[in-house]
Amino acid sequence: MTEQWYFVDTETGTPAFNMALDEVLLRKQSREALPPILRFYDWKPAGLSLGYFQKTKGKINVENVKSRGFGIVRRPTGGLAVLHDQELTYSVVIPESHPKMPKSVMAAYRVISQGLLEGYRFLGIEAGLAIPENGVEITGTAVCFEEPSWYELVIDGKKAAGSAQTRQHGVILQHGSIPIRMDTDALYDLFIYPNEKVKEKAKRAFKNKAVAIEEILKRPVTLEEVKEAFKKGFEKGLEIELVEWQLDEALLQEAAELAKEKYENDAYTYSR
């Protein structure tokens, strides 16, 4: 019998609410030992999410983030900054003890990435998993999509999806960005560089480091088309059946309160 996972599409949320809901789902999973949860969502306004340990001073141009009308939020997961705009975002919330989940973070990435891999295939895109020959190169960049990590999705050597993971209270939370299209000018306006020349050089180099769905397919793609492909992709790649799940009002209220108390709080956002 095929294993059943919960599936919920919460559609559009603010940056703070999106991160709060992922954390609340992690807590609920820890309390109640639910089936694994796959969540899809998107962002309004578009938001720059910072890795939990990422420094902002001297790295993030907060003034430019705000002047463009973007939100800014610190994720509960590690990694580098991601601009969430014109994309599908996913999260997986699953007990560490689940038989499909290896003990190591990288091995768990590999398992979950099978769902992403099949999602791209349903769109007609042949993607692969990044396996750096000499390990992951640390360049000092603040930009997530400049550096593929172990078992992240790549297309023709370019990073196609960025994911991050945390393990708390016996639960794995992995969430990530699946770009449909990218605005490189907007992205590189959000970071601090020594001068304009260095910034332009980094922006030009980015074209060889990252890629979005529409760039590969050479045609417009709707969010609904991407959702359908990746929903089927997770089912095939993880050999599961996704069952629609409704979030109750108490859980949504808990997320709204956490968003206000933590993820909208500058003391948390700019704590590093």
> Which residues carry out catalysis?
144
Q: Between vectors from CA 175 to CA 170 and to CA 178, what angle results, nearest 5°?
A: 160
Name the token pair of 259. 């968003």
Tokens 């979005």, residue? 212
Contact status, residue 222 vs residue 181, Cβ threshold 8 Å:
no
Dig out the tokens for 261 from the structure. 């108390």
DSSP assignment of the chain equals -PEEEEEEEEEEE-HHHHHHHHHHHHHHHHHH-PPPEEEEEEESS-EEEEPTT---TTTB-HHHHHHTT-EEEE-SS-S-BEEESSEEEEEEEEETT-TT--SSHHHHHHHHHHHHHHHHHHTT---EE---BTB------SBGGGS--TT-EEETTEE--EEEEEEETTEEEEEEEEESS--HHHHHTTB--SSHHHHHHHHHHHTTTB--HHHHHTS---HHHHHHHHHHHHHHHHTEEEEE-PPPHHHHHHHHHHIIIIIT-HHHHT--
